[in-house]
Amino acid sequence: MASWGWGADGSGHITARDPERTDAFWSLRYGVPFGEARVEDLVLVNHCGDVIEGSGEINPAGFCIHAPIHSTRLDVVGAIHTHTPYGTPFSALAAPLPMSSQEAVAFYGRQGVFTGEEVNVTDLATGQRIADALGTGRLVVLANHGLLTVGTSVASAVGFYLNAERAAEVAVKVPDGRVISPAAAAQTHPSVGDELNGWHIFQWLVRSRVGDPTVVN
């Protein structure tokens, strides 16, 4: 994420459900940029906001958004939100991603839109409305705010986030482009929208964007 400059201004959060304490998730300590993150910067919190391991605070808006998602969607391990060059401008439309690219088809029938005006989420009730808008999908467009993706691993959530950002780029640059038909999107979705494909995208990113791939092993 840091290799693109995403989250450089402190906007954004990544969470990962703990594999043993499944009612808790890991997040980066507030104030640590993605590019400087180390194991010692991770904080484990439960869905009530209690710190279980680590020290320091996590992003309060991140907690209010991610805690309801993790408590509602038990299949979700990784969840990602940040402000990106195309995802945030696209979100001002308060609309789902159009099926105008292969990357967008990864979210065919698997995206929602949160239309609330709470662009700075400060309470769990708003976070629950975001979780409700996400539903069983992999992407929720947060109106006037940005994109949020989830996956059954942090790796697949990252892969889906990249797909969503690329799809938003196409939508912003070619707003009147041809839209893929529902039949074609439905046929293609299983091959580009499954968890394994999201995981594979992450592996390519590690090789091409991370100087020392061992840091994500």
Could you tell me which residues come within 8 angstroms of residue 155 by beta carbon, excluding any fewer than 6 positions away?
78, 198, 199, 202, 203
Please indicate, yes or no, if residue 217 is contained in any of the structural domains: no
CATH of the domain at 98: 3.40.225.10
Q: Work out the pLDDT band at 122, boundaries 50, 70, 90.
A: very high
User: Order of strands, edge to edge, in the sheet holding 51-53?
Assistant: 51-53, 42-46, 24-28, 12-17, 78-82, 146-151, 139-142, 111-114
Q: How many CB atoms lie within 10 A of CB 46?
A: 16
Task: Let me know: does 14 contact 69? Beta carbons within 8 Å.
Answer: no
pLDDT band at 6 (very low <50, low <70, confident <90, very high): confident
CA–CA separation, 104 vs 192, rounded Å? 9
**For the CA atoms of the chain, what is the radius of gyration?**
16
Query: What is the domain extent for residue 203?
Result: 2-211
Tell whether the model's pLDDT for residue 57 goes beyond 90.
Answer: no
Which pLDDT tens digit goes with each residue over 139-185? 999 999 999 999 999 999 999 999 999 999 999 999 999 999 999 99
| pLDDT for res 2 | 84
The domain total for the chain is: 1
Does some domain include residue 216? no
Examine residue 74 and state whether it is found in any structural domain, yes or no. yes
Helix (H) or strand (E) holding 158: helix 154-173
Residue 32, domain member (yes or no): yes
* pLDDT for residue 216 is more than 70: no
Residue 180 CA to residue 102 CA, distance in Å, equals 9
In a domain, 65, yes or no: yes
